[in-house]
Amino acid sequence: MGAWGVTEFLLRRIDHQLAGANWQRSGGKGAKPKPVELPQQQRTPKQKPVGADVAQRLRNLGLIPPGDTTT
């Protein structure tokens, strides 16, 4: 989300409003338009959360006990 500023959010909103208005004027034919995905929604389920590998590295170094799941 940090990569998106106010300008990007406003452009996203304008794009969605125009697509919705065009869809309505066409009589609602076709699929209803969907908004552009936000940055955090674009992450695929296969990706690890940020920092997951850091916790594993700390465990490997012995700085976090092996059974500790608080991270």
Chain centroid offset of residue 18 CA: 22
Amino acid 54: pLDDT: 78
- pLDDT < 70: residue spans in the chain: 1-2, 40-50, 52, 67-71
- Predicted pLDDT at 46: 65
